[in-house]
Amino acid sequence: MTWLLFAIAATVIVVAGVQLARYGDVIGEKSGLGRSWIGVVLLAATTSLPELFTGFGATALTPLPDIAVGDVLGSCMFNLLILSLMDAIQPERISARAHQGHALAIGFGLVVMALAGIGLAGAAHWPEVGWVGLYTPLLIILYFVAMRVLFIHERRRRSSDSPLETANPANAHVSLQSALVRYGVAAVFVVGAALYLPVVGASLARETGLGEAFVGSLFIAIATSLPEIVVAVAAVRMGALDLGIGNVLGSNLFNLLILGIDDVFYTPGPLLSAVDPSHLIAVLAVVLMNALFLIGLTQQVLTKRFRVAWDTGAIAVVYAGAVWFVYLMRS
């Protein structure tokens, strides 16, 4: 029964995620903000709503800190694995076709993830601000600094020598107002399904004996990352590669904002002081996966010998290894 509930919640997230991708593209086109910016900010924030509300459920409603942290960090890992999927379903390397501005998002992602890792490793020694760790306001501030810098960079890029994005004929009959309404309805369904995931995840942890850290990092993280998968596949098919990559990188930045918000919701004390040390494996994996994609992005080699290029292939290997290590360290 627990697996059925998990499958139902995941299905709702997938179906609603399809609509988010569809109408997110319309909003990017009709508003003039562009697919890259929409991917990094609007789509990233919306497709991360499952992580946000799963974290709220696992901290404010039910004290399940390992589910909350495992979901955030596991989702960051899985989001980067989506880059391998995107690379596998299109002929050229995605890192070579993507614009160089994504390096800025990767850089901010590395800084914020490193801060989360330091907070996790030395949680007992960080000063506290009320019931939260000092790292929490830093995570929140860094997210908004990153969004400001990325906005300025994207505006300059679009006003300089960048070609205009090709309009999608399927969007011609949909108005901006209609797209915003339908986008909001899809977001409500995503939120509703996400609220059930912490409880279902705790039941899975008890029934399987795998532990909350492992279940949060794998099953819950994959379920809450389903919208990102839908957006990524849709972006490749629409020829809007930067929309998909921006969504992946922006979602990871938003996930670290969620980690700070979760700490605010978790009133017993600093969140990272209450979780299993095995979460550090996910932090290190995300840093390594980001670094691999950054190398591929700057290398700019179009051809690939196999279905996936070496950089996205290595990302998949790192993900599999991290999941295995978390399994070995499960509580």
What's the average model confidence in pLDDT over 170-187? 78
b/e 51-76 (16+ beta carbons within 10 angstroms → b): bbbbbbbbbeeeebbbbbbbbbbbbb
d(CA 128, CA 170): 52
Report the DSSP beta bridge partners of residue 132.
129
Answer whether residue 36 shows pLDDT above 70.
no
SS3 at position 162: coil
CA atoms within 13 A on the CB side of 301: 12
CA atoms within 13 A on the CB side of 3: 2
Which carries the bigger pLDDT value, residue 110 or residue 133? Answer: 110
Say what percent of the chain tops pLDDT 90.
22
Please list, in sequence order, all residues whose beta carbon lies within 8 angstroms of the beta carbon of residue 225, skipping any fewer than 6 positions away: 50, 75, 78, 79, 82, 251
Answer whether residue 126 shows pLDDT above 90.
no
Residue 32 region by backbone torsions, left for phi larger than 0, else alpha for psi between -120 and 50, else beta: left
Among 99, 104, 81, which Cα is nearest to 286's?
A: 81
Q: Is residue 254 within 8 Å of 143, Cβ to Cβ?
A: yes
Among 279, 238, 306, which Cα is nearest to 121's?
A: 279
b/e 9-28 (16+ beta carbons within 10 angstroms → b): bbebbbebbbbbbbbbbbbb
**Domains present along the chain, CATH in parentheses:** 2-162+175-328 (1.20.1420.30)
Residue 182, Cβ density class (10 Å: 0-12 exposed, 13-18 middle, ≥19 buried): middle
What's the average model confidence in pLDDT over 292-320? 86
Answer whether residue 327 shows pLDDT above 70.
yes
Query: pLDDT tens digits, residue range 54-73?
Result: 788 788 887 888 888 988 99
CA torsion angle for 309, 312, 315, 321 (degrees, to 10)? -50
d(CA 179, CA 177): 5
Using the 8-state DSSP alphabet, how is residue 192 labeled? H
For Cα atoms 130, 135, 140, give the angle at the middle one, nearest 5 degrees. Answer: 95
Q: What is the pLDDT of residue 164?
A: 46
CA torsion angle for 64, 67, 69, 70 (degrees, to 10)? 160
